[in-house]
Structure 1
């Protein structure tokens, strides 16, 4: 089997320099990349750079090497077409089928998955014309990532920043892994909410009750949902992971904050996946000063109270008709029996049950689980990368949408 064929379109935005890193990740991981810049893109990064990094000649026009019919052949042979940065101009041209250079012609001939990574000023991204063009492209099956929030050109900040190239690469890798079927995104048009990480309940200004969750499984679920076309809101509790490309991230600390953020986001969600490790208990009293250790004295007893059961609340009070709710259960013994009892108690549609402990699930790159369904189904997930489990969860969720 040959190398995956990737076409990397580059349009004329200042973020073009960051795309050199995306190109490097593709080539170093065994992909054959053909870079197709616009004329404007070459004002930011020159032709020699793209050619040297990709190992292929670079052209912007259909008139170069005419005998090879590049405006048709490049798109026909691609396994994935990525446009990064995607400016407002290239999004408009793609939405309206304009073809005035090699990149826009290639966009019309490609029959593989197409992914746009927009980057522009906030006002341009929010303009109704851009939003209508994005909606058109998504309706046709293209993946248009949500821009990141952060520093823009000059002193401006806001939504419109190019997502981190490493995170764009992760989304692309997931799209390629799904094969040709990913040209039709089965979560397109769906809004989903994913929680990730572990909540922390403060005891005093320096101590808290917490857990070992790293957030890696929730982040894998978020990235995979983006790669399958969903609009994703990630409620992240105390993680140090980089924001996934194309995801709206809401950061929280405690179980109460996570509940508030999830319920707010769930109001417009087709599915909610509660992958976060939420503390069952919190201290009954918060001590405003650091609890001191005193010689000869035992520490004061720690009184705990229950936190709200967010998963059960979501399952009982669905925010919208047909909403799918997925829970996660971390067990240390009698995994399947405890999981089945928890599924009945929580009332969710699917429950992902895994055994946790030292070097198991928490903090690891791998996971092993069984997905229990309210319909009595059981789907085992063998030990492997957490993204494999994420793919399976969305494969089970997608057919449940009414």
Structure 2
């Protein structure tokens, strides 16, 4: 052990060669001027458009944006000397749609919905990326071939078949809470995309109760919304979060609560809810789960009538190429590379599903994060992409609205009407359905 203040030896003050004060002051001023000049030159080059630049639109803001910039973008800019003009928006779908319509789309975009990306492929707005990403690093449910090409790949992934609970909850309390509707934290609000937390519930219930084959048929538009499998998922959801009779107070609470705030009830005294069916990102997005040492359990352990084995609903932020400029192609190759995927997976903002990426070690992050990362990378498990995100945008949006309408009026007659309408919409001509949303190793 070194003594306090010990370190490399330095020359004694008298032994140092000192510059005269005026000369030292002149050098200091000159150095400062050079720094300012260099900064001005860099800014001038960017303004004049002489520095290679790539535009990127994604949905990461706040802490996620900082993590993305620090862990992923900064190393790219330093290595390739290409400036990334990043725009983060929680409404990136609307922003991209407006930019495309105006004829000014970004070079690279990140969206959560492969169904939405498929519509851009149909409109000839996306460029193939199969020659820019490592072959075999991403499975078909993540980098789905469409019209003979691959047009997207995942940078960030999340697990959705999970239920969060406070760390001090016993197994007995957990088993009891799942059968008490008031103990489920639920918020349906999300601005223009309100209702998607309900779609996550329905999707996961279809997967766990009816298996991945039925789930994939439904997500591809081949299984009727009025089928017994899909209808059972809706009624099970109602019974779990509202009770069979449909508790109006609980419905009102869910409809009036933003999804980000649903878990705040966990920290109330006494607690107003204990369980939240929500994707893995909520653990870092909502401070309440940090305050109660939030843990998770697979949803299959709490859902009734489960038949699936080791099946998980997943979601992802998918990278797509709109302008195949040299700079954009470099960025695509980089984002699909193991170093970039590993860097993103090393933060608590998300996970990678690149087959070459290793889960974080014990020294890198917390146990719940390591466990989730390992599940996403487990090639023995079945991973099915979020069904509503994989559906054509019109069907996706109607599905989200239907979950809101059902909570407001959970009677069977209303459910029959909603499911019939979704069937009619799903049969409309011109819709682009994905060929595959699930991985399954036989």
Shorter-chain TM range is under 0.3
Q: Higher Cα Rg: structure 1 or 2?
A: 2
Q: Specify which structure has the higher proportion of strand.
A: 1
TM-score, with normalisation over the residues of structure 2?
0.24
**Larger relative contact order, structure 1 or 2 (CA cutoff 8 Å, min sep 6):** 2
TM-score, with normalisation over the residues of structure 1?
0.25
Q: Specify which structure has the higher proportion of helix.
A: 2
